[in-house]
């Protein structure tokens, strides 16, 4: 049986090793993608994490994520399943943060590919690293949406948040088009 001190050391070494491996992996990724040298690191890294979420969904949940808006519903179901584990005390906070980060990267990448968003910045906000996407209407934190879904269940839907973001975008575009028509004398 492992004592508490040994367990603590094992966990610390594991976490530090994982962090080192992640930093090393990101540096290798940047070296392999010279076209991305001018982009902020967040624009290079987040699509990579989104791809990892696709692999995770396939291996652990036997579902295919295809970067379409409809796939956000699949992510919502994966996170709802995680909520049930969390509510039963079977999912620790570290796993919640990791899932929220990876699936948040996926949701953000869907927004970049389908809704005109861009990866913006990263901030350390408790309890997790948040990476923002930027649209014309504002800044959004998809990892926060994912964490809320895991922790709060049906009260927090990633699909609903994504829909609000895209409705704001389409509503703003419609208002601009209407203003343009009324300003050109045709309306």
Query: In this structure, are 101 and 49 located in the same domain?
Result: yes
Is residue 36 situated within a structural domain? no
Is residue 171 situated within a structural domain? yes
Per-residue pLDDT at 132: 80
Is residue 154 situated within a structural domain? yes
Query: In this structure, are 147 and 110 located in the same domain?
Result: yes
Query: In this structure, are 82 and 161 located in the same domain?
Result: yes
Query: In this structure, are 23 and 49 located in the same domain?
Result: no
Query: In this structure, are 12 and 94 located in the same domain?
Result: no
Pull the structure tokens for residue 161.
Answer: 């948040």
**DSSP symbol at 184:** T
Cβ–Cβ under 8 Å, residues 117 and 134: yes
Query: In this structure, are 117 and 175 located in the same domain?
Result: yes
Predicted structure pTM score? 0.68
Is residue 48 situated within a structural domain? yes
Pull the structure tokens for residue 27.
Answer: 């540096």
Query: In this structure, are 68 and 24 located in the same domain?
Result: no
Per-residue pLDDT at 122: 63
Of residues 138 and 162, which shows the higher confidence score? 162
Is residue 89 situated within a structural domain? yes
Query: In this structure, are 87 and 122 located in the same domain?
Result: yes
Cβ–Cβ under 8 Å, residues 114 and 68: yes
CA distance 41 to 98: 19
pLDDT tens digits for range 77-122: 999 999 999 999 999 999 999 999 999 999 999 999 999 998 887 6
Average pLDDT, the chain: 80
Is residue 56 situated within a structural domain? yes
Query: In this structure, are 13 and 74 located in the same domain?
Result: no
Is residue 35 situated within a structural domain? no
Q: Categorize the per-residue pLDDT at 12 as very low, low, confident or very high, splitting at 50, 70 and 90.
A: confident
Q: Categorize the per-residue pLDDT at 137 as very low, low, confident or very high, splitting at 50, 70 and 90.
A: confident
Q: Can you give the CATH number for the domain in which 166 is found?
A: 1.20.120.1090
CA distance 185 to 113: 35
Provide the domain limits for residue 12.
1-30
Is residue 83 situated within a structural domain? yes
Q: Helical H runs in the chain?
A: 4-32, 41-61, 71-87, 93-114, 142-152, 158-183
Query: In this structure, are 24 and 115 located in the same domain?
Result: no
Count of structural domains, the chain: 2
């Amino acid at each position: 049986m492992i004592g508490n001190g040994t367990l603590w050391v094992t966990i610390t070494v594991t976490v530090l090793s994982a962090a080192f491996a992640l930093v090393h992996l990101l540096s290798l990724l940047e070296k392999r993608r010279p076209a991305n040298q001018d982009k902020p690191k967040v624009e290079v890294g987040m699509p990579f994490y989104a791809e990892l979420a696709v692999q995770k969904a396939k291996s652990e949940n036997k579902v295919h994520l295809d970067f379409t808006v409809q796939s956000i519903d699949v992510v919502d179901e994966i996170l709802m399943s995680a909520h049930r584990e969390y509510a039963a005390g079977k999912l620790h906070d570290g796993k919640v943060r990791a899932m929220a980060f990876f699936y948040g990267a996926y949701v953000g990448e869907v927004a970049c590919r389908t809704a005109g968003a861009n990866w913006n910045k990263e901030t350390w906000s408790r309890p997790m690293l948040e990476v923002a996407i930027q649209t014309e209407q504002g800044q959004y934190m998809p990892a926060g949406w994912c964490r809320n879904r895991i922790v709060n269940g049906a009260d927090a839907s990633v699909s609903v948040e994504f829909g609000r973001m895209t409705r704001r975008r389409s509503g703003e575009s419609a208002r601009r088009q209407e203003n343009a028509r009324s300003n050109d004398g045709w309306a």
